[in-house]
Every structure is written in structure tokens, then in C-alpha cells.
Amino acid sequence: MNVALAQLDFHIGHFEQNTRKILDAIHQAQLAGAELIVFPELCITGYPPRDFLEFTDFLDRVHLAIKQVAKACTTIHALVGAPSVNPELSGKNLFNSAYLLGDGKVKQVINKTLLPTYDVFDEYRYFEPNKTFECVEINGKKIAVVICEDTWDIADDPMYTVHPLDELMKENPECIINLSASPFSYTHHRKRMDMLRWNTQKYKLPMVYVNHVGAQTELIFDGGSMVFNASGECCERLPFFKEEVRIINIKHLEAKKPVNDPTEVSLIHDALVLGIRDYFHKLGFKKAILGLSGGIDSAVTCALAVEALGKEQVWGVMMPSPYSSQHSIEDAVQLAKNLGIRHDVISISNFYHSFLQGLQPLFEGKPFDVTEENIQARCRAVTLMALSNKFGHILLNTSNKSEAAVGYGTLYGDMCGGLSVLGDIYKTQVYELANYINRNQEVIPMHTIVKPPSAELRENQKDSDSLPEYDILDKILFQYIEMRKGPLELKKMGFDSMLVDRVLKLVNMNEYKRHQTPPILRVSDKAFGMGRRMPIVAKYLQ
């Protein structure tokens, strides 16, 4: 059987565009002689549609789109992901489904059994789990069709009690097809490979796995759709972060020579570029603005934005204060010249001194402290937001995950923005990204990379005045945030006891700040935002 894998970038709720992409791919597959074309999970709506699923009009448009796509399936079959209505009087109103389309109509509907409700997933909020199992038949061939999580029940102690493929094997299918919406993290593609290999070896059947590509606000989908033969060997893999329709023959699956996996830093880089690009394009934005400090975070953010949007669409603004060093200004200017972007210098010294003068009667006799530092950060934010409003640019936030974790940032200051580009990137990873961006030529000035990081909000300030060295801090943060290690476990791992207590207290007491940040592009297994739900008012480790 010739099967087309349609790895495409869908837009949540944009039924016209999504349907047009599906119809174009069907036409392409028909011309290439495919008998079946497979699309990702919930491709009609885009993933995840969330509370749009509670709108009757939204569901009506799903139904109309399915009918339109079905009419195009005359000489080909298609598996298309979309919600379907639960006909029973009990349970949730909807299923997460795969529609088998052929002969101009809906021939069968297959429902998802395992509904992930953890981290960024909340499917049980909307969908009823499947309880009946039936293979589909296409041109005399029996196929086990499953949806995303239905093949992830592979752990020794699974969270699910039903194993969909075990049930479907009772009908002796010839292959497995998985429609998926599996978000990117920089370790997930390896887990995905292991999962697919495990399933194909267990059931001794080939598997076709089709994944979303593209970004939906903070969630980034990397594609990487694959085909495995019955021996558990990867025979085809579509590119990461790119759309493609590829035809494969299920009967002739030969293992290809091992392909070197992309490096972790290259995957993160490509994910962030796609995340920026889709956020802007899908919201109808074109131009970005950001503050350039001469530091590494703003430099990396700017370079990524230029790659995503083009140099004509990115505006860098340098806003020196009385504490800004000359070399930082020079580094920022050099970065802007290297990237070819518009750049302006607006001193905030007058703004800053005006605030101090106005507050002087109340601040009389009080020493300089973080208050004056935050005033500078907020002067910069007001300046950037004024330019954003006046000229229609979206402000990119440049804070990294290390800073966000411990509250090393100013609310309504450097934490402002429409999108947080580096909010899921630890400071040590920012340096890796900078070196990756410079892999072919010096884009980010070398002085920006090698100088000690500083907010430059007071004389001779360095980040290390307030924080542990980042190579130590990031290891503690990773174990606490991603690996969910508590204080006793961290101390047993060899981390200094007092440092562990201090860092974890900073993380927990600054939860209120993180609830007021822009959406963060997710690239790790545990990002701040929708996938990490922590109480603000809590006493744990404070």
C-alpha cells in the first residue's frame, strides 16, 4: 500500500486554511498514486483547541469541514483528525477521533482511548475515552488506527489500565497507523523513537506515525513523522520543524542507514525560530521590537527573531542608564550592525532622574536599593511599550529561565512583552545557543559572550552578586523543576545544604511573578506556564 504522510502546520480554529491545506495534500497524494493519506491528530481544528470545543458553532464548522474533505476522497482514502460527537447520553459530549474518509463520505470513526491529563495536556476535560475497538479496512487491508497517547502505555507501571493495541491485535491487522499531536521538547524525539520501536517490536507490525508541525502559542510541534518496519527499524523520518507530504510503500520498508540525530542545541534553536515565526504569522503580526542591553540574552533573542521574521522586521533599542557601561552600548550596536537591523539609542537617564526627583520627598534619607534598580527597568519597559504602541511592533521578552525561576527580574519592567523567547532556556543554555548562532560567523559579538553577566542597574553590578554562579544554579533548578527533586534529595546529591534551601525558597516565593509573564515558548519537559501548575500562596520551602 502506498501511504502519504501529511506533516503540516495547522492553525487553531482557522477552518478555511486548515481545510485548504488538507485538500491540497490529498490532491498531491492522489497524483502520486497514494491509496491512503494520513493527517495528524485534530488537524481540522488545530491542536489544542481547548475551550473552543465548548462552542456549538465551532463543532458545526468541524462537521462542515469533514464533509468538504470527504467529498475530495474519491480515488483515495484519508485518515483525518477531528472531534466527533458522543452519541451516548452518558460521559463527555465529544470524542477525540480519526475519521476514515473514502468514496466521498465518512466510512468509519475511530476514537482515542487514552486521554493525557498531565503537564500541558488536559484532554479529559473535553473528551470521553473510547471503549470499543475495531480496525479499519482499506482496499482489503486491515489496519489498526490509534491516536497519539494510545501508543504511549509502555511503562512498567503504566497510568492506564487499557492497552488499545492489545485490543486491536485481536483482529490481526497488517500495520499500525498513529495520528499524533506530540509537542516538542529537546529530549522528546528520542523518547518518541523508543516508543515507536517498542511497539513495532512487540506487535511485529510496521507503524506509520504522523505528527503535527508548527507552533500554537507556547506549544511547538516538531514534526519528525516516522515509519518503522516490523523489526523495529526506522525506515523513513520526515524533517523536524518543516512541512512535508511524503509517499511511502508499506510493503517495501527497508531500514535506512542510521541518521545522526540533530544536536540538542540545534533542535532548541530551530524550535524557537519556528515558535517566533508562527506566533507572529498566526496572529497577523509582522514586526518585533526589543531592548538591546549588550548582554547575551537580548543578543540571542534578537538573532533568533531576525532568523524567524527577517532583518527588516526587527527593531533593536538601546536604552542606557547612568550605570550602563560603554562596552555594553558598543556590543549592542555591533550586534545590530551584524544582523543588519534598525537600531536606536534612547537614554533613560532623564526619565530615571525625573522619577527620583518626583519621589525624593518620600525617599528622603532612604539608601539606594532595588527600588532604584527597578525604576530603571520600568523606564525601559515604558519606552519600549510606547514604541510598540506607536509603530505596531510586538515586544519580545528576553528573560531566561534561570532568572524567571528565582525572580531575578522586574515586574512591569524587563518582564514585559508579548512573547517570552528564552523563558524556558537556562542561562547556561543561552550561552550554548549563542555559540551555535556563531557557528559559521560572528553574529553575536564575542565580548558579549565572554563578559560576566550583569543587569547594570548599579555601579559595578554582576549577576553573581545576587545569585550563585549559573553553572551551579542551573543544575539545582533543573533537578527541582524538571526532575521534581525535593530539598532532601538535592542535598543527598551533593548540593550545598544552605544553597539548596536558598534557591528553592527563591523559586517558590516568586511564583506570583511568573503568573504575570508573557507566554513562554516551551522547549523542555517542564516549562513555566500551562504545564507547571503551582500555587502562589503556599508555604512549602518558604
Provide the residue-wise pLDDT of the chain in tens; the chain has 542 residues. Answer: 999 999 999 999 999 999 999 999 999 999 999 999 999 999 999 999 999 999 999 999 999 999 999 999 999 999 999 999 999 888 999 999 999 999 999 999 999 999 999 999 999 999 999 999 999 999 999 999 999 999 998 876 677 888 999 999 999 999 999 999 999 999 999 999 999 999 999 999 999 999 999 999 999 999 999 999 999 999 999 999 999 999 999 888 887 766 678 999 999 999 999 999 999 999 999 999 999 999 999 999 999 999 999 999 999 999 999 998 899 999 999 999 999 999 999 999 999 999 999 999 999 999 999 999 999 999 999 999 999 999 999 999 999 999 999 999 999 999 999 999 999 999 999 999 999 999 999 999 999 999 988 877 778 878 788 889 999 999 999 999 999 999 999 999 999 999 999 999 999 999 999 999 999 999 999 999 999 999 999 877 65
> What pLDDT is recorded for position 182?
97
Q: Find the length of the chain.
A: 542
In a shared domain, residues 226 and 355 = no
Q: Which of 21, 43, 112, 123 is catalytic?
A: 112
In a shared domain, residues 394 and 275 = yes
In a shared domain, residues 37 and 167 = yes
Cross-strand bridge partners of residue 179: 147, 210
In a shared domain, residues 383 and 497 = yes
Please report, for residues 113, 148, 198, the alpha-carbon distance to residue 246 in angstroms, rounded to integers and kept in the order given: 28, 20, 24
Q: Which of 35, 41, 218, 372 is catalytic?
A: 41
In a shared domain, residues 380 and 494 = yes
In a shared domain, residues 103 and 227 = yes
* Cis, bond preceding 48 (omega within 30 deg of 0): yes
Which of these three, 220, 251, 282, is where a domain ends?
251
In a shared domain, residues 139 and 246 = yes
In a shared domain, residues 77 and 45 = yes
Asked if 276 and 419 count as a contact pair (C-beta separation under 8 A), the reply is yes
Q: Which of 43, 148, 235, 302 is catalytic?
A: 148
Question: For residues 74 and 78, what is the distance between their CA atoms, to the nearest angstrom?
Answer: 10
Which of these three, 194, 217, 251, is where a domain ends?
251
In a shared domain, residues 215 and 313 = no
**Single pTM value for the model:** 0.96
Please report, for residues 78, 212, 214, 268, the alpha-carbon distance to residue 273 in angstroms, rounded to integers and kept in the order given: 31, 16, 10, 9
In a shared domain, residues 66 and 179 = yes
* CATH assignment of the domain containing 245: 3.60.110.10
What's the maximum distance between 2 C-alpha atoms anywhere in the chain? 87
For 288, the domain range is 268-514
- For residue 191, indicate whether it is catalytic: no
- For residue 286, indicate whether it is catalytic: no
Residue 530 lies in a domain: no
In a shared domain, residues 349 and 401 = yes
> What pLDDT is recorded for position 453?
85
Q: Which of 449, 405, 444, 411 is nearest to 423 (CA)?
A: 405
Burial category of 142 from C-beta neighbours within 10 Å (exposed 0-12, middle 13-18, buried 19 and up): middle
Question: For residues 351 and 374, what is the distance between their CA atoms, to the nearest angstrom?
Answer: 13
Number of Cβ atoms within 10 Å of the Cβ of 199: 23
Question: For residues 448 and 48, what is the distance between their CA atoms, to the nearest angstrom?
Answer: 39
- For residue 73, indicate whether it is catalytic: no
* CATH assignment of the domain containing 309: 3.40.50.620
In a shared domain, residues 416 and 291 = yes
Please report, for residues 290, 330, 346, 355, 483, the alpha-carbon distance to residue 324 in angstroms, rounded to integers and kept in the order given: 17, 11, 12, 18, 38
Residue 526 lies in a domain: no
Number of domains in the chain: 2
Residue 528 lies in a domain: no
CA dihedral for 448, 452, 453, 456, sign (positive or negative): negative
Q: Which of 450, 451, 408, 452 is nearest to 426 (CA)?
A: 408
